[in-house]
Amino acid sequence: MKLTKEEQDMLAGKHGNAAKKSMEILVALGEIYGAENMIPVFSVQIAGVSYHNLGDAGLDYLEELSRDGKVRVLTTLNPAGMDLEDWRKLGISEDFAAKQLKVVDAFSKMGVIPSCTCTPYFVGNLPRFGEHIAWSESSAVCFANSVLGARTNREGGPSALAAALTGRTPNYGMHLDKNRQPQAIIKVKPKLKTVPDFGELGYAIGKKIGNKIPFITGVKSANTEQLKSFCASIATYGGTALFHIKGITPERVKKPAGEAVEINSGDLEAARAAMNDDCVPDFVSLGCPHASLNELRRIAELLKGKKVAVETWIAVARPVKELADKAGYSGAIEDAGAKLACDTCMVVAPLKGRFKCMATDSAKACFYARGTNNFKVRIGTVEQCIKAAVSGKWS
Ligand code: F3S
């Protein structure tokens, strides 16, 4: 790889141990993927923050880097394993909390903003069209590439942190025009209305074409919340880092090519059936990816004057919750007994064994609730989920 003088100095250790280790990771990645050079990045999003996933080895690594490492660009964090302030209310143990706080301290020492959200674009990490970034968190990567038109590979936690500590990423994959062209043409026949409709579409497309880049036609409109959910779903069930939707996403597609696939109402029904177990929810979880202010407004409306009968979490970025506090949404939600879980979510928090059946409006949440926490799942609209939270029944 061709490195600039500054990049060579980082590799030689002239900018300290953390920059050296980071440049070693980036050069190794660049060589594996055939990158010719490094490019500067505008921002970084780091996943792999929960102590649940990092363990002591991960914590030791972060503490070592934090001795002399400082981020060079705007860098935000994915959710941690708990609400960093109110972790007791979520039933987190003292031991886990102590370790999790050490993890976040190590990141903060390096200058990483402890935003602890998978929707960094709601809290100020908002790249513009064409900008190069290095993000991890598959849903956010897909949103950045597809909805915003920024450019990032699907980084892992260590490579994202390495990009933050050097301000660089190897120039390959999604950073190059030639790799952003569609590889399949998807015709969507049914009319999509709700957030779970978009989650089911992500499931259906992902299952049919895997990680190919789709060019999707037939979707007449989509709001931010629907796109957020679609990104999470298609990245989970297919693995793509980028999609194009005709008339909705911003990147110009030269000539759509690849296999032609039709999605009909039977495909969406099959997706819904695959994400609905025969169970009665004892846990309701909304906010995957983290809830927008508009979603909190709707949840507050639905919960106003009611009481939840089962444990109910709404995962949200702390700055978004603070706005919801001012708007009165948080009060209506918390008065009903539901919990606003900041900094975390039901997947990265240590919840295994606490619940049996989770209701959600998120296709991604279904996948991880089953895989990570062994829960059964129910997918439905936010109205269905809140009804289940209040009644303790699923309908
Ligand atoms: Fe975010 Fe957790 Fe879902 S990190 S995308 S709320 S699984």
Residue 350, pLDDT score: 83
In this structure, which residue's CA is closest to atom 7 in ligand 1? Answer: 347
Domain edges within the chain: 5-177, 181-274, 283-391
Q: Roughly what angle, to the nearest 10 degrees, separates helices 265-274 and 195-209?
A: 100
Q: What is the pLDDT of residues 303-348, one digit of tens each?
A: 999 999 999 999 999 999 999 999 999 999 999 999 999 999 988 8
pLDDT digits (tens, 9 = 90+) for 140-189: 999 999 999 999 999 999 999 999 999 999 999 999 999 999 999 999 99
The verdict on the CB of residue 80 being under 6 Å from ligand 1 is no
Helices and strands (H and E) in the chain: how many: 14, 15
Residue 198 pLDDT > 90, yes or no? yes
Instruction: Check if CATH label 3.40.50.2300 holds for domain 283-391.
Output: no
Nearest ligand 1 atom, CA 287: 6
Cα of 365 from ligand 1 centre, angstroms: 7
How much distance in Å is there from the Cα of 211 to the middle of ligand 1?
A: 20
The CATH code that applies to domain 5-177 is 3.30.499.10
**Token match 């004057």: residue?**
305
Query: Is 288 close to ligand 1, i.e. is its CB under 6 Å away?
Result: yes
> Distance between CA atoms of 117 and 289, rounded to whole angstroms?
8
pLDDT digits (tens, 9 = 90+) for 205-241: 999 999 999 999 999 999 999 999 999 999 999 999 9
| Atom number of ligand 1 nearest to Cα 118 | 1
Ligand 1 atom nearest to CA at 119: 1
CA–CA separation, 205 and 187 (whole Å)? 10
Q: Does residue 89 carry a pLDDT above 90?
A: no
SS3 call for 234: helix
Contact (CB, 8 A) for 135 and 242? no
Protein residue with least CA distance to atom 3, ligand 1: 288
Average pLDDT for residues 250-267, to the nearest whole number? Answer: 92
Tell me whether the CATH fold assigned to 5-177 matches the one assigned to 283-391.
yes
Q: Cβ(224)–Cβ(186) under 8 Å?
A: no
- Asked whether the predicted pLDDT for residue 94 surpasses 90, the reply is yes
370/272 Cα distance (integer angstroms): 15
DSSP for 349-395 reads S--TTT-SEEEES-HHHHHHHHHHH--EEEE--HHHHHHHHHHS---
For ligand 1, atom 2, the nearest C-alpha belongs to: 345
> What pLDDT, on the 0 to 100 scale, is given for residue 255?
81
Q: What is the pLDDT of residue 262?
A: 98
Q: Is the pLDDT of residue 138 over 90?
A: yes
| Average confidence (pLDDT) over 362-373 | 96
Number of other residues whose CB lies within 10 A of the CB of residue 262: 12
Instruction: Tell me how far the alpha carbon of residue 180 lies from the centroid of ligand 1, in angstroms.
Output: 25
Write out the two tokens for 218.
């037939």
What is the distance between the alpha carbons of residues 247 and 394, in angstroms, rounded to a whole number?
Answer: 36
Ramachandran assignment for 244, one of left (phi > 0), alpha (psi -120 to 50 degrees), beta (any other): beta
For the four alpha carbons of 150, 238, 76 and 175, in that order, the dihedral sign comes to negative
**Ligand 1 close to Cβ of residue 367 (< 6 A):** no
Q: Write out the H or E segment, with its range, that includes residue 43.
A: strand 43-46
290 lines ligand 1 (CB under 6 A): yes
Looking from the CA of residue 290, the nearest atom of ligand 1 is 6
Distance from C-alpha of 319 to C-alpha of 325, rounded to nearest angstrom: 10
pLDDT of residue 254: 82
Task: Determine whether the shortest distance from the Cβ of 52 to ligand 1 is under 6 A.
Answer: no
